[in-house]
RNA sequence: GCUCCCAUCGUCUAGAGGCCUAGGACGGAGCCCUCUCAAGGCUUAAACCGGGGUUCGAAUCCCCGUGGGAGCGCCA
């Protein structure tokens, strides 16, 4: 049997970290078992669903590389099918029309709450045979009155619910539109979903869905309810925690693979390993290894993992992401080879691509010196080392890090000063700051012309001090 | 209120009854390396929610508390 898993977000809010983690586990499970991953947009709430939210889901999934084999399907385009099943339920007696008004239902709930009971529909219309004038009825599913429903969950084990705890849920509103739990059931059946992997906030919905699936004579999927992700403060993830949309992580300079790596470790582990590529995850991930407790989101650890992935990434790949980050701060670069060279030099010293861009500007233009750095390093004391090193570099034909390295060392040796006395002035001269990759590779990337020009300018500056 | 779920360092986790003097990672502290910043290496502080059982033996199994979470919508 081919595994068929799905991700079924509703576009009522922007796709966030929690949603992505659910999508990831579902996707990984399908990939691991050579199965099919389905994307389904649950947009039956016409009021709250937005085009923008749908676009974030689509763009986010694409950015992350969580590609769907089937879909995206939209529930709003399946209304005829839902209507068909509702009729079927009505005809078979699995559903009935309920003429209770919203006001009556609210009053009932209030009464039950006051009596410290669980609020639930009391079944008033269960055996009603005649319509009630002036009321557009809803359709309710006739839930079994007794017995139990066992949810066989690969993460939680067997979870038992008493049917007596469940009531007859509304599957069609008074305007005829179908509701969430019902649509999920019809879709999962029609799309032949074998594995339902979703947040454990849905665990309580599952027995109702199972009852409907049974009424339809469908084979039950395997369930896996994932623990929730909480904000860094341990409370429920919300707008307060920033990161409204996953795309924000792209804009902040996170690598998709790093974000996914971070997310997979929330609730899942593989021995002591922390760093995984996506390819490795598709080999190693198993839903049975997922734990049951909620976990808090740690921005620090994500940052660390992002750096780990940046360090390991191919410069050419980094260059692709670095380019728009530089453009965002007004530096437009067309030279992809140079971009890759910069990324290579910088990849061990940036936690995000955005940070890399911010700290790489001098590779493309130098506007002036950092005041403190210049004051400390471009002094009269620096004139001699700069002069000597400039002279040697000007004569260098083989412009590569190794050769540059030798020249800098030789200069320090000749002048009988520490390496720092030579390297730091050069660093400030070419980068305008006191921080850069090793001076030899910095100069290599900068190129001969730029280096010479900047050294001369710095020499002028230092001479005036 | 009722039902369901969950519970190991600050955080993410390892742990399937003896391997636990509870391991790793992030973050913290310190040291080393060093041309800056990083990266890397080493050291260090830091946890089994509480109480009862079961057992020769419990972080691991059972029960009861406690704490946290979810659901109980003509939302999804």
Residue with tokens 């390295």: A405
Return chain A residues 351..390 having CB < 7 Å to nucleic acid strand B. Answer: none
- pLDDT confidence of residue A45: 84
Name the pairing type of β-strands A70-74 and A95-98: unpaired
Q: In which element (H, E) is residue A465 found? A: none
Give the nucleotide at minimum CA-to-C1' distance from A422. Answer: B35
Say which residue the tokens 């305008």 belong to.
A432
The sign of the dihedral angle between the CA atoms of A19, A24, A29, A34 is: positive
pLDDT of A242: 58
- State whether the beta carbon of A162 lies below 7 angstroms from any atom of strand B: yes
Please give residues of chain A from 387 to 446 whose alpha-adjacent beta carbon (CB) lies under 7 Å from any atom of strand B: 405, 418-420, 423-424, 427, 434-440
Proximity of residue A201 CB to strand B below 7 A: yes
Cβ atoms of A360 and A342 closer than 8 Å: yes
Angle between helices A315-328 and A336-346 in degrees, nearest 10 = 100
Q: Which of residues 212-231 of A touch strand B (CB under 7 A)?
A: 227-228, 230
The helix (H) or strand (E) run that includes residue A142 is none
CA angle centred on A115, ends A111 and A117, rounded to 5°? 95
CA angle A365, A370, A371 (to 5 degrees): 145
User: Helices A336-346 and A439-446 meet at what angle, rounded to 10?
Assistant: 170
What is the b/e burial string over A188-211, where b = at least 16 CB atoms within 10 angstroms of the residue's CB?
A: bbebebbbbbbbbebbeebbbbbb
In the block, tokens 């980094």 appear at A318
Catalytic annotation on A301? no
- Joined tokens for residue A279: 């390819």
Task: Please give the Cα distance from A168 to A437 (Å, whole number).
Answer: 67
Q: In Å, what is the separation between the CA of A76 and the C1' of B56?
A: 65
Query: Please, are residues A355 and A331 in contact by the beta-carbon 8 Å criterion?
Result: no
Contact criterion met (CB below 8 Å) for A228 and A330: no
In this predicted complex, what is the ipTM?
A: 0.94
Tokens 């380019």, located at residue:
A323
Q: Are strands A229-230 and A295-296 parallel, antiparallel or unpaired?
A: parallel
End-to-end CA distance of chain A: 79
A22 half-sphere exposure, CB direction, 13 A CA radius? 29
Here the tokens at position A321 are: 């992401």
Among A116, A239, A375, A392, the active-site one is: A239
Identify the CA nearest to A15 among candidates A41, A35, A36, A37: A41
CA separation for the pair A102, A155 (Å, rounded): 38
From CA A370, how far away is CA A197, in angstroms rounded?
53
Across all strands, nucleotide nearest A180 (CA–C1'):
B76
Q: Tell me what pLDDT residue A243 has.
A: 55
Q: Are A10 and A42 in contact (CB under 8 A)?
A: yes
Q: Concatenate the DSSP letters of all residues of A16-68 into one string.
A: -HHHHHHHHHHHHHHHHTT-EEEEEE----TTT--HHHHHHHHHHHHHHT---
Show the beta-strand stretches assigned E in A45-194: 70-74, 95-98, 138-141, 148-153, 157-162, 170-172
In angstroms, rounded to a whole number, what is the distance separating the alpha carbons of residues A311 and A345?
10
CA–CA gap between residue A43 and residue A31 (Å, rounded):
26
CA–C1' A7–B62 (A) = 38
From the Cβ of A292, is strand B under 7 Å away?
yes
Residue A329 CA distance to nucleotide B35 C1' (Å): 29
- This prediction has a pTM of 0.94
Distance CA A461, CA A59 (A): 49
pLDDT by 10s per residue, chain A, length 465:
899 999 999 998 889 999 999 999 999 999 999 999 999 999 988 888 899 999 999 999 999 999 999 989 999 999 999 999 999 999 999 999 999 999 999 999 988 888 888 899 988 899 888 888 888 999 999 999 999 999 999 999 999 999 999 999 999 999 999 999 999 999 999 999 999 999 999 999 999 999 999 999 999 999 999 999 998 887 777 666 655 789 999 999 999 999 999 999 999 999 999 999 999 999 999 999 999 999 999 999 999 999 999 999 999 999 999 999 999 999 999 999 999 999 999 999 999 999 999 999 999 999 899 999 999 999 989 999 999 999 999 999 889 999 999 999 999 999 999 999 999 999 999 999 999 999 999 999 999 999 999 999 999 987 887
Distance B44 C1' – A51 CA (angstroms)? 53
């Amino acid at each position: 049997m081919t595994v068929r898993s799905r991700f079924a977000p509703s576009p009522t809010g922007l796709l966030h970290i929690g949603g992505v983690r659910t999508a990831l586990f579902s996707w990984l499970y399908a990939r691991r078992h050579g199965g099919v991953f389905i994307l389904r947009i649950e947009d039956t709430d016409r009021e709250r669903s937005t085009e923008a939210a749908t676009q974030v889901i689509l763009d986010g999934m694409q950015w992350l590389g969580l590609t769907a084999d089937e879909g995206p399907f939209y529930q709003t385009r399946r209304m005829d099918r839902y209507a068909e099943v509702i009729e079927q339920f009505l005809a078979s007696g699995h559903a009935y029309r309920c003429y209770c008004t919203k006001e009556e239902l609210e009053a009932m709930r209030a009464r039950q709450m006051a009596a410290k009971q669980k609020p639930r529909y009391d079944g008033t219309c269960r055996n009603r045979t005649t319509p009630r004038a002036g009321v557009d009825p809803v359709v309710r599913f006739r839930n079994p009155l007794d017995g139990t429903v066992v949810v066989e969950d690969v993460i939680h084990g067997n979870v038992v619910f008493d049917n007596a705890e469940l009531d007859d849920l509304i599957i069609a509103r008074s305007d005829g539109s179908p509701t969430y739990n019902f649509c999920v059931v019809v879709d999962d059946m029609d799309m032949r979903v074998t594995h339902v992997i979703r947040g454990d906030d849905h665990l309580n919905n599952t027995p109702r869905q199972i009852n409907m699936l049974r009424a339809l004579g469908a084979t039950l999927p395997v369930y896996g309810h994932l623990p929730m992700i909480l904000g860094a403060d341990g409370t429920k993830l919300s707008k307060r925690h920033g990161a409204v949309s996953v795309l924000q992580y792209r804009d902040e300079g996170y690598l998709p693979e790093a974000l996914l790596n971070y997310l997979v470790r929330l609730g899942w582990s593989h021995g002591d390993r922390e760093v995984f590529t996506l390819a490795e995850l598709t080999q190693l991930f198993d839903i049975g290894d997922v734990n049951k407790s909620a976990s808090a989101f740690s921005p620090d650890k994500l940052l660390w993992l992002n750096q780990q992935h940046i360090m390991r990434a191919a410069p050419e790949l980094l260059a692709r992401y670095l380019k728009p980050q530089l453009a965002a701060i007004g530096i437009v670069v067309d030279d992809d080879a140079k971009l890759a060279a910069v990324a290579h030099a910088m990849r061990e010293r940036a936690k995000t691509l955005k940070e890399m861009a911010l700290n790489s500007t001098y590779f493309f233009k130098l506007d002036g010196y950092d005041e403190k750095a210049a004051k400390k390093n471009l002094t009269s004391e620096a004139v001699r080392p700069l002069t000597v090193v400039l002279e040697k570099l000007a004569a260098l034909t083989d412009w590569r890090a190794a050769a540059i390295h030798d020249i800098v060392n030789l200069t320090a040796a000749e002048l009988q000063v520490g390496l720092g006395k030579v390297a730091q002035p050069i660093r400030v001269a070419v980068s305008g700051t006191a921080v850069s990759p090793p001076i030899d590779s910095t100069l290599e990337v900068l190129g001969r012309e730029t280096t010479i020009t900047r050294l001369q300018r710095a020499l002028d500056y230092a001479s005036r001090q």
